[in-house]
């Protein structure tokens, strides 16, 4: 039997990072996807992830090693299935550690393939919440909810996370509101630019999370403001008022920058984009490197300048379907 699963990356248009603070986000999935192929029967549990291989034989092999195989280890540890034997190939078109949900796309593809093997079926909201539990408790990653919901649902969505300021157990967790916006938008004048600098989102988010939990007024008020910006951004996007959306995106970034959530490389490329015709430019995810998103109707000059300044990769966001998983007859 062969099982194939895939899931998209995503870019935050406006509202991030309030998805971890009871706020809201407008987010767009990408054409770029992570892909998993699971084959049975097999004599052992063998993995091939981006060209690197390993075999998981005993319980010690399931301990995190900070390598490419941790996503599979975390899924199987969460499911408490150390008895499974299969061969799994994992590839991805999404840059890792770039703020585009690349690791979450791999994680949900792995999880979906294993659940299919086990004959288990869950609705999308529960699947997204399973992912959050795996990332937080098994991969030890400080995270919000945007990545999980976007890799599962896909599309371009307004995501409302009210009531999800604090983590709960999976059986007590509230489900987010996912409002598709695809029918209102016929064009997406966005460009995503990867700086080439890798970073781990948890390392960027944790210090600010601690300030928020301590009641730091600058952080609390800043994220309340970003949530209101996103609410206004929803209207601007539906009305296709791109200049209004651009102003909101820029304000979103100024607040993140003031709180220390950006980074030198992000800000450098954002300045390059703004000097070369972008109406707006901001973080596409967590800062500290990663990726920016720019709004421009004539991006050629901007992209040439960004490439000259060392941009590692250019991605044009096109909303794509969320996670898919199917059994393919051999």
Average pLDDT, the chain: 94
H helical segments located in the chain:
70-79, 102-118, 124-133, 146-153, 201-213, 217-239, 242-259, 264-275, 300-308
Answer yes or no: do 171 and 189 share one domain.
no
CB 284 within 8 A of CB 192: yes
Collapsing DSSP states into helix, strand and coil, what is residue 250? helix
Answer yes or no: do 62 and 162 share one domain.
yes
Answer yes or no: do 61 and 178 share one domain.
yes
Cα(36)–Cα(92) distance, rounded to whole angstroms? 9
- Which CATH number goes with the domain that contains 90? 3.30.230.10
What does the buried/exposed string (b/e) look like for 213-222 if buried means 16 or more CB atoms within 10 Å of the residue's CB? eeeeeebeeb
Looking at residue 289, its pLDDT comes to 62
pLDDT, one tens digit per residue, over 71-124 is 999 999 999 999 999 999 999 999 888 889 999 999 999 999 999 999 999 999
Answer yes or no: do 135 and 35 share one domain.
yes
**pLDDT over 80 (residue 51):** yes
162: its two tokens: 């009210």
CB 16 within 8 A of CB 109: no
CB 161 within 8 A of CB 18: yes
Answer yes or no: do 42 and 165 share one domain.
yes
Looking at residue 203, its pLDDT comes to 61
Looking at residue 20, its pLDDT comes to 93
Residue 286: pLDDT band with limits 50, 70, 90: low
**pLDDT over 70 (residue 274):** yes
Number of domains in the chain: 2
Looking at residue 202, its pLDDT comes to 55
Greater model confidence, 96 or 32? 32
pLDDT, one tens digit per residue, over 121-176 is 999 999 999 999 999 999 998 889 999 999 999 999 999 999 999 999 999 999 99
pLDDT, one tens digit per residue, over 191-236 is 999 987 765 555 667 789 899 999 999 999 999 999 999 999 999 9
Percent of the chain at pLDDT > 90 equals: 87
Answer yes or no: do 176 and 202 share one domain.
no
Looking at residue 98, its pLDDT comes to 86
Looking at residue 207, its pLDDT comes to 87
Answer yes or no: do 178 and 30 share one domain.
yes
Nearest to 101 by CA among 190, 164, 7: 7
Q: Mutual orientation of helices 242-259 and 217-239 as an angle, nearest 10°?
A: 160
Answer yes or no: do 173 and 291 share one domain.
no
Answer yes or no: do 82 and 47 share one domain.
yes
The DSSP result for 84-119, as a single string, is ---EEEEEESSPTTSSSSHHHHHHHHHHHHHHHHHT
Answer yes or no: do 111 and 169 share one domain.
yes
Helix (H) or strand (E) holding 313: strand 313-315
Answer yes or no: do 252 and 140 share one domain.
no
Collapsing DSSP states into helix, strand and coil, what is residue 66? coil
In this structure, what are the phi and psi dihedrals at residue 245, rounded to the nearest 5 degrees?
Answer: -65, -40
Looking at residue 316, its pLDDT comes to 95
Q: Mutual orientation of helices 124-133 and 146-153 as an angle, nearest 10°?
A: 140
- Which domain, by its residues, includes 232? 184-315
- φ/ψ bin of 163: left (φ > 0), alpha (ψ from -120 to 50), beta (otherwise): left
Helix (H) or strand (E) holding 277: none
- Which CATH number goes with the domain that contains 300? 3.30.70.890
CB 109 within 8 A of CB 35: yes
Answer yes or no: do 161 and 26 share one domain.
yes
């Amino acid at each position: 039997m062969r099982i194939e699963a895939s899931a998209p990356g995503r870019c935050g248009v406006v509202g991030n990072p309030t998805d971890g603070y009871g706020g809201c986000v407008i987010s767009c999935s990408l054409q770029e996807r992570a892909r998993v192929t699971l084959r049975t029967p097999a004599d052992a549990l063998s993995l091939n992830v981006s060209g690197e291989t390993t075999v998981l034989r005993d319980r010690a092999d399931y301990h995190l090693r900070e390598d490419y195989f941790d996503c599979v280890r975390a899924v199987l540890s969460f499911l408490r299935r150390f008895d499974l034997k299969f061969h799994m190939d994992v590839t991805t078109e999404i840059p890792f550690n770039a703020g585009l949900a690349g690791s979450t796309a791999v994680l949900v593809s792995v999880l979906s393939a294993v659940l299919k093997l086990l004959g288990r079926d869950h609705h999308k909201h529960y699947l997204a919440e399973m992912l959050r539990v795996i990332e937080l408790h098994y991969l030890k990653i400080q995270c919000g909810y945007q990545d999980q919901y976007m890799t599962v649902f896909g599309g371009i969505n307004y995501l409302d996370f009210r009531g999800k300021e604090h983590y709960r157990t999976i059986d007590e967790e509230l489900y987010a509101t996912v409002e598709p916006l695809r029918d209102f938008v016929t064009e997406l004048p966005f460009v995503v630019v990867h700086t080439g600098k890798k970073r781990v989102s948890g390392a960027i988010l944790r210090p600010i999370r601690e300030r928020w939990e301590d009641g730091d007024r600058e952080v609390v008020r800043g994220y309340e403001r970003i949530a209101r910006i996103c609410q206004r951004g929803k209207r601007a996007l539906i009305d296709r008022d791109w200049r209004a959306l651009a102003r909101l995106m820029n304000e979103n970034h100024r607040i993140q920058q003031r709180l220390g959530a950006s980074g030198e490389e992000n800000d450098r490329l954002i300045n390059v984009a703004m000097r070369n015709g972008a109406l707006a430019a901001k973080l596409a995810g967590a800062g500290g490197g990663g990726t920016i998103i720019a709004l421009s109707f004539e991006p050629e000059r901007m992209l040439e300048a960004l490439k000259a300044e060392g941009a590692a990769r250019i991605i044009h966001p096109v909303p794509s379907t969320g996670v898919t998983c199917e059994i393919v007859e051999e």
